[in-house]
Structure 1
């Protein structure tokens, strides 16, 4: 099973050496790396070319303009040739067993379409600051699942052939394109949680989530949820009517606020236990 590591780069070439080293040190070696630069304005291309050299496992492409993360990440999948795909940002790293663990699950369990593990937030020098403790197994086959609160987070691996049967990532999403992907894969099969920390997320001034994008992130996240509700033909959720058109992100999140409450969380845990026992 070939694994395609997908890297969308924009002005992060200065951090790429750590990312590169973490890939080279993977215990599972049947992989390729597809890098797509989104028209960087720094010396990213030169830096990346210098690091990857002539290694044929690394393929570097460039956008002819700055199109944003939705377009770039969707195109990365199209450029890949692997059976399984997983995104890795050029300023982050993965631990040595990340790919092997995902592949082992996907080879063994054919009904699993996506795996996820746990990330840790790090400082600029990749010293761990905190672990994302909310990552966990989710209930499968639930029309009201929208990763709210967030439980699926990198490191994520997904079957390419299944993805190609979906409507694919919405290229208009500048942020929350990952949530859009998770929803669409979730609608196609089962999701499996690997209980280990595989992804080290580097927090720095140049990171997309650090650039005062909180409000935009909130809006795109709500839009991805609303589009999933439409695909699933939902008219109501928790006895509340879903709007026919998306206008206000808060309106969408208010519909899902019950999923933060204790009764829903108890019910969800019970469903997960039953699904774990009976498959």
Structure 2
């Protein structure tokens, strides 16, 4: 009988005390039980760390780490990945919800498509009590040229083969990847021939609000332009594609309210 693979769920945590109980319940309700949850508190100023420790005392599958200084998401995820024992790495944000069959369905697709290195599922975005479904116009198997316009995958909903993450050295930590570490890593993976896949199943719920858009400072738009330029070269993008380096700079001039409405209607930006 084939041994079931261990799935390591990695979750950076910063000031998420009001969301953590719901997040933990969503993980514990998974139909697939062979998992470990590695949480790392990134110097929260609320009771997040205490909540993490309380849950870990009641479930040995939950491991808790703590940063000595605030390292932000990319470095914190790398720290979690470095101690992960699983064959697969599943992302989880500290304010989002995993639906009960999330792990089971992702693993079934990895078993079916053995040449795939990472898989992103569809998601449901929600704002307080309002939920809206993103566009189904996803690309099942993106190629390099699809990365020109923007993210080809929904980062938060992704499961990776651990070997794929190790091949690119995990998340790149630099000034320009404070917010764009996901886009950067996906492009680096694609540039070395790693293959990703999008599935239509909604397996994850992402918490978003208007303020999330308004908080995106223009310096992060500049950083995304730098990420695009650096990785377009690795992906051997044709010269015409470099016009999209300007895309984040233009989007940064649009008010957050309109960006949120656009995403509600069309599912992507």
Q: Please show how residues 78-227 of structure 1 align to structure 2 within 5 Å.
A: 78-124=82-128, 127-134=129-136, 136-140=138-142, 142-146=143-147, 148-153=149-154, 154-172=156-174, 173-187=177-191, 188-203=193-208, 209=212, 212-227=215-230
- Aligned residue for 2:31, secondary structure, equals coil
Tell me, which stretches of 5 or more residues in structure 2 are unaligned? 251-269
Whole-Å Cα distance in 2 between the matches of residues 194 and 34 of structure 1?
A: 25
Whole-angstrom distance in 1 between the partners of 2:235 and 2:65 = 35
**Structure 1 residue ranges (4+ consecutive) displaced by more than 6 angstroms after TM superposition:** 251-254
- Against the structure 1 CA distance between its residues 144 and 175, is the aligned structure 2 distance closer, same or farther, given a 3 Å change threshold? same
Over 3 Å counting, the alpha-carbon distance change for 1:45 and 1:152 in structure 2 is: same
Q: Is the 8 A contact 1:52 1:58 kept in 2?
A: yes
**Structure with greater proportional helix content:** 2
Q: In 2, are the aligned partners of 1:13 and 1:48 still within 8 Å (CA)?
A: no
- Equivalent pair of 1:144/1:237 in contact (CA under 8 Å): no
Matched residue, 1:229: 232
Match of 1:72 in 2: 76
| 2:12 alignment partner in structure 1 | 8
Q: How many Å separate the matches in 2 of 1:10 and 1:182?
A: 24
Residues 251/54 of structure 1: CA separation in 2 closer, same or farther (3 Å cut):
closer
What runs of 5+ residues in structure 1 fail to find an aligned partner? 255-279
1:114 Cα deviation after fit: 0.9
Stretch of structure 1 that moved more, 1-10 or 164-173: 164-173
Q: Tell me, what secondary structure is at the counterpart of 2:100?
A: coil
User: Which of 44, 51, 59 in structure 2 is aligned with 1:47?
Assistant: 51
| TM-score calculated relative to the size of structure 1 | 0.77
Distance in 2 separating the partners of 1:16 and 1:128: 20
Cα offset, 1:46, TM superposition: 0.8
Cα drift, residue 37 of structure 1 = 1.0
